[in-house]
């Protein structure tokens, strides 16, 4: 039996949800930036996971019913979701009737009995969930497509790969060894470049022929745009919301900030990446070209709510320093062995 995945919808902050998110202006999926989040990354469910694995589904369901009034603790995706709510609150102040908002959709393939505890937990943490879909063990991917999902975050690597294969931006989240305090007023999202925002074309050259050939290839093709990667669409969606703040004179205090954190070198291979982003009409607030240096220390300074990378080496390095990192299992790097990591 496939275990529970969850995805979720929320607008406001520290006030009654119904007072700020009336049903008559609930965003339609085609207008919203839809984020799907697994319960195993939104909340801490390790104890329940062990009950399921060791005692089976019936004991698991009984355990959940017996503990349904005990809220789950926040998981690695929780600060990210709260930051989405903060952005929504600002957007509603400026555009009261707009449907261009973050919509977090809760999709779980748990039994309905477990839904009671999830709803109690959502209410306890003052999260507003507009859409909650329990699939009873079947794959949630079809529902994600129906909701026009812009990003799917899960603890289930197989479901993430399935989503990517269907053209849905997706990543596997991990619990860092320590949690770094993040901003409560600004959503910060950091991206790797190759095989995340861009295709893995250049990374394939590096893996096959080495660094010198990679530099040569990038110089020869600096005016040739890179193809898009699996998370390009999510960056576009963030940019669309950023422009709503810019239009009201809030570029300098925009509550969304994006970062490119790449192992590329600026002079020898960075220009192609920047030209590609410019040609796509996408803005990155900060670009860090590390020339192979570790990403963890830079991410510790940025303190993003989430960082996306296609290589587990960088995901693990970020997590060791307290950054909530998500693995994008796409491209040539997935053929490289990596050490075992603790899944959230």
- Report, as residue numbers or ranges, the catalytic residues: 192
For 287, residues 6+ apart whose C-beta sits below 8 A from its C-beta are: 259, 260, 262, 270, 273, 274
* CA dist., res. 267 & res. 196, Å (int): 21
Q: How far is Cα of residue 273 from the mean position of the Cα atoms in its chain?
A: 22
Neighbours of 231 (CB within 10 A): 26
Q: CA distances (Å), 40 to each of 16, 49, 304, in order?
A: 26, 9, 20
> What one-character-per-residue DSSP string does 5-34 give?
--------SSS-HHHHS-GGGPPPTTTSEE
Instruction: Specify the residue for token string 């690695």.
Output: 76
Sheet strands (E) in 129-248:
131-134, 149-154, 170-173, 187-191
Residues 68 and 73: their CA atoms lie apart, in Å, by 13
Angstrom distance (rounded) from CA 279 to CA 262: 19
- Name residue, tokens 């995706």: 77
Taking the CA atoms of the chain, what radius of gyration do you get in angstroms?
Answer: 20
Q: Which helix H or strand E contains 288, and what residues bound it? A: strand 286-289
Measured in whole angstroms, the distance separating CA 297 from the mean position of its chain's CA atoms is 21
């Amino acid at each position: 039996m496939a275990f529970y995945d969850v995805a979720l919808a929320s607008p406001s902050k520290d006030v009654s949800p119904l007072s700020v998110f009336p049903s008559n202006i609930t965003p339609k999926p085609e207008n919203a930036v839809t984020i799907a989040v697994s319960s195993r990354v939104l909340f801490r469910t390790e104890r329940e996971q062990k009950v399921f694995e060791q005692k089976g589904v019936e004991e698991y369901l009984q355990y959940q019913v017996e503990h349904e009034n005990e809220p789950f603790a926040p998981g690695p995706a929780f600060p990210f979701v709260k930051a989405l709510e903060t952005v929504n609150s600002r957007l509603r102040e400026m555009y009261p009737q707009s449907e261009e908002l973050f919509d977090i959709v809760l999709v779980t393939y748990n039994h309905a009995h477990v839904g009671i505890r999830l709803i109690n937990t959502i209410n306890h943490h003052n999260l507003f969930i507009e859409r909650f879909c329990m699939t009873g063990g079947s794959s949630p991917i079809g529902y994600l497509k129906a909701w026009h999902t812009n990003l799917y975050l899960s603890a289930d690597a197989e479901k993430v790969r399935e989503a990517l294969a269907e053209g849905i931006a997706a990543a596997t989240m991990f619990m860092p060894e320590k949690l770094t305090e993040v901003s409560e007023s600004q959503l910060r999202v950091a991206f790797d470049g190759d095989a995340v925002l861009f295709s893995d074309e250049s990374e394939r050259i590096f893996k096959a022929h080495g660094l010198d050939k990679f530099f040569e290839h990038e110089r020869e093709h600096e005016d040739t745009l890179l193809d898009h990667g699996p998370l390009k669409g999510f960056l576009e969606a963030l940019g669309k919301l950023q422009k709503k703040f810019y239009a009201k004179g809030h570029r300098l205090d925009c509550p969304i900030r994006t970062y490119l954190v790449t192992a590329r070198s600026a002079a020898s291979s960075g220009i192609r990446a920047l030209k590609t982003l410019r040609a796509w009409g996408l803005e990155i607030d900060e670009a860090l070209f590390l020339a192979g240096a570790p990403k963890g220390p830079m991410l510790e300074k940025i303190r993003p709510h989430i960082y996306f990378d296609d290589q587990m080496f960088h995901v693990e390095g970020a997590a060791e320093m307290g950054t909530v990192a998500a693995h994008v299992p796409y491209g040539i790097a997935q053929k490289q062995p990596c050490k075992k990591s603790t899944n959230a």
